[in-house]
Amino acid sequence: MPGGVSIDLQEEVHEVKQLSEKIQSAPPSEKHRATPSIPLTEANTRMMKLGLAPTLSGLDVSYYRAKVETDPVLALAGLRIDLETLARNLAVGFKLQPSGSLYTLLERLKEAGAITLDQAHLGLKISKVCNQAMHGELVSREEAEDVIDAAEVLFHQYLAWLSWGFADDWKPSS
């Protein structure tokens, strides 16, 4: 829609926000409840030590919040890259094949019990909005910020997994 905002994109952003709020409000499983979260400043160091790929942002959403001020599309493109890196890392951690599309990766992770249905849906919705923006769909700074805010819940849950998902007795520094 030239000169305007796509109704479809607005609806997708709204669904992304709703799924993020639903996941954030869900109680953590017993397995995850007692484990500390990794500090953001240690995320890439931890991932590299585990043989996983580091992320562009170091899983610090303020990286994307700063980028969105000057270029919402670039911020969403980076977020999309980080999302795929997280899915590939989770696949490696759960001993699944880390190849294929993001859709395939999220489906494999869901089937293996590594992520919930809602987490898979949120990842796909975020990816869809990011892809639309990267392919020329108009996206406002506010819409991009909403998507980044929604992705933060997945970043936090991934950081928690880095604390409990491996048998090396690692604990984040205080």
Lowest mean pLDDT among 21-25, 34-38, 76-80: 34-38
Q: Is residue 93 part of a domain?
A: yes
**What's the pLDDT score for residue 35?**
47
Q: How far apart are CA 66 and CA 75, in angstroms?
A: 8
**What's the pLDDT score for residue 137?**
93
**What's the pLDDT score for residue 30?**
59
How does the average pLDDT of the chain come out, rounded? 87
Q: Is residue 29 part of a domain?
A: no
pTM of full prediction above 0.85: no
Q: How far apart are CA 44 and CA 122, in angstroms?
A: 23
Q: Is residue 117 part of a domain?
A: yes
pLDDT for residue 40 is more than 60: no
pLDDT for residue 3 is more than 90: no
The model's pLDDT over 119-139, given as tens digits with 9 standing for 90+, comes to: 999 999 999 999 999 999 999
Instruction: State how far Cα 101 lies from the chain centre.
Output: 15
Lowest mean pLDDT among 100-104, 109-113, 158-162, 169-173: 169-173
Q: Is residue 173 part of a domain?
A: no
Instruction: State how far Cα 158 lies from the chain centre.
Output: 8
Quote the domain boundaries for residue 60. 7-23+38-164
Q: How far apart are CA 131 and CA 170, in angstroms?
A: 36
What is the band of 49 on the pLDDT scale with cuts at 50, 70, 90? confident
The model's pLDDT over 143-174, given as tens digits with 9 standing for 90+, comes to: 999 999 999 999 999 988 888 877 777 766 65
% of the chain surpassing 70 pLDDT: 85
Q: Is residue 89 part of a domain?
A: yes
Q: Is residue 32 part of a domain?
A: no
Q: Is residue 82 part of a domain?
A: yes
Q: How far apart are CA 165 and CA 93, in angstroms?
A: 7
Per DSSP, the residues of 101-120 read -HHHHHHHHHHTTSS-HHHH
C-beta contacts of 46-50 below 8 A and 24+ residues apart: 46/162, 46/170, 47/89, 47/162, 50/93, 50/162, 50/166
Average pLDDT, stretch 73-77? 97
The number of distinct structural domains making up the chain is 1
**What's the pLDDT score for residue 161?**
87
Q: Is residue 115 part of a domain?
A: yes
